[in-house]
Each structure stands twice: as C-alpha cells, then as structure tokens.
Amino acid sequence: MDNAQITIKLTRDEALVLSDWLERVQMTDLSRLVDDEAVWAPIHKLAGTLDKALPAIFAADYSERLEAARRRLRPSADDASERDNSE
C-alpha cells in the first residue's frame, strides 16, 4: 500500500474558515455526518494541523478576522453573473 503523504495548500483565509468549520462540526453529533470511523483520524489530524498553524484563532479579535476571511472567500455578485453569462 502506498503511504506517500499528500500536501494541501490553503490560503490563510481558507485555513481560518476551514478551521472554524471543523471545530464546529467536531462539537456536533458527528455520527450523523460521518458514517465511517476511519474518517475521524484524518479529520482530527487536519484540525490539529490547522490549529497549530493559525495563531489568529487565539487572538482577541478572532471573530472579526474570521468574518473578514469569510467575506473575502464568498463569491462576489460579479463572479455569479460571470458564471451565469458563460453558461
């Protein structure tokens, strides 16, 4: 079996938003969402890696930083209209 590692590159905004989402998901009843226990190990590993790489999650203005990252990642109205026109 090939156990080569895979590298995933995220922007700081992507990492911050994903870290927050993973934290919220882990605090819910994940058994409804995750039906295979084998998925837990990579979920916890990813969440832990993000936590270590993001000192912003401990900042006093974390909520503001998170919301700003979310705004930057959301498609703008211009993006949506470009997609609609290309179809």
CA distance 21 to 47: 10
Q: Give the residue ranges of DSSP H helices in the chain.
A: 12-26, 40-53, 62-73, 77-86
The predicted model scores a pTM of 0.77
Give domain limits for the chain. Answer: 12-73
The pLDDT of residue 13: 96
Distances in Å between the Cα of 38 and the Cα atoms of 7, 27, 35, 63 are 20, 18, 9, 32
52-74 pLDDT, tens digit each = 999 999 999 999 999 999 999 99
